[in-house]
Amino acid sequence: MEDWTGILRLNAEERSGKTVARNVYFQGAFKVMRPVYHDDSGQACYYILNPGGGYLDGDRYQMQVSLEEGARMTLTTQSATKIYKTPKKPAYQEIEIWLKNGSYLEYITDPIIGYKDARYKQKTVIRMDKGANLLYSEIITSGWSPDGVQFSYDLLQLTNEIYVDGELAVYDHIKLNPAAQHMSSLGIMEGYSHLGSMIVISEQVNQDFLDRLYHEIYEDTQEYRIGLSLLPVSGLIVRVLANSTQTIERIYAQCHRLINQSFFNTTPSFLRKY
């Protein structure tokens, strides 16, 4: 068995209209709180905790989450994922998610923050049945550095693979390497400091819904830039470049609200973190 700094395994199912855990296991520097039910929809909300406060040199984390048919879950972090100096080995996180038909997972994390001389790699593999629903979002930003340099981390690399009915449907690779890239250039950060990605997969996503979402979130402003694209399967991706976490979170909250209202006739809960 590999040496993991933290392990989290969570399997949930639907029972009498309520999502409950079938199995929960955590070890080391990964923990999960007892579920919170924000409303009467039966959707469970789990908060992931990292008692260590941040990811250090050579840290390795593994998370495995599975939802049975009809289960609905919000999975979120309690605070930002802070990546500190990693002089010898990058910090690494591996995420595996399985979604059965009719299930719905909202995986909404706080920002990944790369501090000075930080290196971090993350691999996420999601396996979905056709008919499952997914909302996956993440934000990347750089942390404070003593010399005031904006992009002082060495590497932030995130890879997402999404399989639908066993076939690779989405491959998304973000690699930010300030030592080798001009971070303000076209196609990289373009003068912004924060990058947000939201992936939505559902059989209810189509061009009409993409157009509605665009009109919901578009503003004629230089505060941020937005790009929306349909995926090869019934889904879409929203990219946002901005200069603050709050700006991206506000845009994604608008997306989240429209998705839940349109697909499930529900209103997203406020994920209080204080």
pLDDT at residue number 1:
46
Provide the H-helix boundaries in the chain: 207-217, 245-264
pLDDT of residue 273: 56
The band of 148, judged by pLDDT with boundaries at 50, 70 and 90, is: confident
Q: Helix crossing, 207-217 with 245-264: angle to 10°?
A: 140
Average pLDDT rounded to a whole number, residues 182-188: 87
Q: Give the mean pLDDT of 211-237.
A: 94
Give the mean model confidence (pLDDT) for residues 136-151: 89
What phi and psi values does residue 129 have, to the nearest 5 degrees?
-75, 150
Q: What is the pLDDT of residue 155?
A: 96
Q: Is the pLDDT of residue 2 over 90?
A: no
pTM of the model: 0.94
- 32-65 pLDDT, tens digit per residue, is 999 999 888 899 999 999 887 899 999 999 999 9
- Integer CA distances (angstroms), 32 to 17, 29, 36, 126, 135, in order: 22, 10, 11, 20, 20
Phi, psi (rounded to 5 degrees) for 108: -125, 105
Q: Is the pLDDT of residue 184 over 60?
A: yes
pLDDT of residue 46: 95
pLDDT bracket for residue 269 (50, 70, 90):
confident
Contact 167, 126 (CB under 8 A): no
Between CA 251 and CA 122 the distance in angstroms is: 24
**Which residue from 197, 196, 205, 211 is spatially nearest to 259, judged by alpha carbons?**
205
Q: Which two tokens stand for residue 265?
A: 């006739």
Mean pLDDT across the chain, nearest whole number?
93
Under the banding of pLDDT at 50, 70 and 90, the label for residue 272 is low
